[in-house]
Amino acid sequence: MGFFIRDLHNHIEKLHGQQFVGQSPSNSFTVYRGQGLSETEFNQLIKTKGGLLSFNSFLSTSKKRQVSLNFVHQTIASSDLVGILFIMRIDPSILSTPFAGIRDVSYFKGEEEILFSMHSTFRIGPMKQIDRNNRLWQVDLTLTSDNDPDLYALTERMREETEESTGWLRLGKLMVKLAQYNEAEDLHETLLARRMDNDERGNIFYQLGVIKCYLGEYASALTFYGKSLKTRQNNLSSQHPDVADCYNAIGIVHYMVGDYYNALSHYQVAMKIYRKNLPSNRPELATSYNNIGLVYDNMGDYSNALSYYQKAVQIRQKVLPSNHPDLATSYICYGSVCYKMGDYSSSISYHQKALEIYQKTLPPNHPDLATCYICHGSVYEKMSDYMNSLLYYRKALEIYQKTLPSDHPHLATTYNNIGVVYYNMDDYSNALSYHQKALEIYQNIFPSYHPDLAQSYSTISTVYLNLGDSSNALLYYQKAVETNRKLLPSNHPH
């Protein structure tokens, strides 16, 4: 398959050179593409207006509008999809994206097909209904060049962040950023079986730890991070930033399983190494500050949390493009603290900033988008806007179910959140059903002292009480008390 893709790309490049070489922007032309999108994908597209849209496969278009429009009509007649007629403005002087007319080799010469190579990227323009049909839309696109400021800034930053010693390691790191965790795991395990030097093995161990952490396999993540740390300590200085990366990553795993004190300890070791060996505006320091803020946030120390979040966002605003996902992470953290302090309008504002960045820069099923939807849902829940809360929670659940293992903690959290909304709507049967789904996952993956277990026990106790089952209510209340005693300091607000 790889040889076919490469040969087709090379053939399109060759035809492009023959057909469009030397042409100027004044020779711009329009092509069309008909396509069906699910409701979720369509809503995502609407929210991304003004942003960038990339087609991951080879892209077939036609110079004839009616050909593409007929395809759209057929699509909406035989499915529940939303029909989209893409109208694409093409500047033939753009060399970064090869495309070519293939009329002479096509079975359908009347379509006047223009074929684009993989990963063609367009700027999203105006959108409007066709014939007042809410399932039939026209979307204007403009082919981007390497000079597009948003695309250039983000691409350069991603290139820096995926810079490794070999092309395979760069590819693996990019797969992780795109949430292609299973494919990335296969690639890194294949690389590990090869004879590689210790530096490369340390990097592979580290990336496998990242993958396992995203998949919720925290014991395996700790194992790989430990191997990476040992390898890097043996080959590098103990104060090398790559060693700090390992301490930071191990801290993340401890944070994810609710061991905040071990998380904070590892984060602080990483921060000291970064401060000693890196310039004060490095993104690694921003990540370190943000992670420490998260620990304080979850320990109820909101003042310290805001202080560290502020340090992180000051660095990120200076050194990252305005559409970088790490900036969105900072906005989510700010919004989270505002939410916990009861400032819901500020919380929604920060979460919306994050959502706009994610929608423009991440694939539509990326888990970070789901996290942002969860944040929105939580705020609307506190504002007693339960329908909007359920809407956002279900958007998150749909993404998590597509991209994460069935026992991932993010799925459990989402089930729990939906259960709370049903409880607030006095639908106790549905509430209990979702809370029990969450509890089953928590019990399978977390130690007995994890805070999410304590919260789950407490919530189920309350639901049983409202259902008139006092025996089960007392049982789960006692479990919640026992778990909290193991977990929280005596001065915690909860």
Highest mean pLDDT among 169-173, 192-196, 374-378: 374-378
C-alpha 16/C-alpha 21 separation (Å) is 7
Name beta bridge partners: 139.
86, 127
200-240 residue pLDDT tens: 888 889 999 999 998 889 999 999 999 999 999 998 888 89
CB 459 within 8 A of CB 467: no
Q: How many CB atoms lie within 10 A of CB 289?
A: 24
| Residue 171, Cβ density class (10 Å: 0-12 exposed, 13-18 middle, ≥19 buried) | middle
**How many C-alpha atoms does 222 have within 13 Å on its Cβ side?**
11
In this structure, is residue 35 part of a structural domain? yes
User: What's the pLDDT at 92?
Assistant: 85
Please give the structure tokens belonging to residue 372. Answer: 């942002």
Greater model confidence, 366 or 384: 384
Judged against a pLDDT cut of 60, whether residue 467 lies above it is answered with yes
CB 285 within 8 A of CB 275: yes
84 membership: H or E segment, kind and range = strand 82-90
C-alpha 231/C-alpha 225 separation (Å) is 10
In this structure, is residue 116 part of a structural domain? yes
229-281 residue pLDDT tens: 999 999 888 889 999 999 999 999 999 988 999 999 999 999 999 999 888 88
In this structure, is residue 365 part of a structural domain? no
User: What's the pLDDT at 23?
Assistant: 78
DSSP annotation of 474 reads H
**pLDDT > 70: percent of the chain:** 90
Return all residues near 314 (Cβ < 8 A) that are at least 6 apart. none
In this structure, is residue 328 part of a structural domain? no
Residue 28: give the domain boundaries.
2-145
CB 118 within 8 A of CB 126: no
In this structure, is residue 417 part of a structural domain? no
Greater model confidence, 251 or 402: 251
- Phi first, then psi, for residue 144 (nearest 5°) are -95, 160
Q: How many CB atoms lie within 10 A of CB 241?
A: 19
Work out the average pLDDT over 118-140. Answer: 86
Of the listed ranges 172-181, 287-296, 371-380, 392-401, the one predicted with least confidence: 172-181
Look at the chain and report how many structural domains it folds into: 1
CA 5 from chain centre, in angstroms, equals: 27
Work out the average pLDDT over 390-410. Answer: 92
What length does the chain have? 494
User: What's the pLDDT at 3?
Assistant: 44
Please give the structure tokens belonging to residue 430. Answer: 């549905």
In this structure, is residue 424 part of a structural domain? no
User: What's the pLDDT at 107?
Assistant: 47
**CATH number of the domain within which 41 lies:** 3.90.176.10
CB 150 within 8 A of CB 321: yes
Q: Confidence band (pLDDT; 50, 70, 90) for 162?
A: very low
C-alpha 323/C-alpha 353 separation (Å) is 10
Q: Rg of the chain's alpha carbons, rounded to an integer?
A: 25
CB 100 within 8 A of CB 155: no
Highest mean pLDDT among 12-21, 277-286, 394-403: 394-403
Which pTM does this prediction carry? 0.55
| Residue 312, Cβ density class (10 Å: 0-12 exposed, 13-18 middle, ≥19 buried) | buried
Judged against a pLDDT cut of 60, whether residue 146 lies above it is answered with no
Greater model confidence, 46 or 3: 46
CB 270 within 8 A of CB 254: no
417-436 residue pLDDT tens: 999 999 999 999 999 999 99
CA 391 from chain centre, in angstroms, equals: 19
C-alpha 219/C-alpha 267 separation (Å) is 18
286-339 residue pLDDT tens: 999 999 999 999 999 998 999 999 999 999 998 888 888 889 989 999 999 999
In this structure, is residue 48 part of a structural domain? yes
97: nearest Cα among 162, 31, 158: 31
61 membership: H or E segment, kind and range = strand 59-62
C-alpha 266/C-alpha 303 separation (Å) is 21
CB 375 within 8 A of CB 339: yes
Work out the average pLDDT over 20-46. Answer: 84
**Helix (H/G/I), strand (E/B), else coil: 53:** strand
In this structure, is residue 194 part of a structural domain? no
Cα separation of the two ends of the chain = 56
Q: Confidence band (pLDDT; 50, 70, 90) for 105?
A: low
- What would the 3-class secondary structure string for 266-314 be? HHHHHHHHHHHHCCCCCHHHHHHHHHHHHHHHHCCCHHHHHHHHHHHHH
User: What's the pLDDT at 418?
Assistant: 97
Judged against a pLDDT cut of 90, whether residue 49 lies above it is answered with no
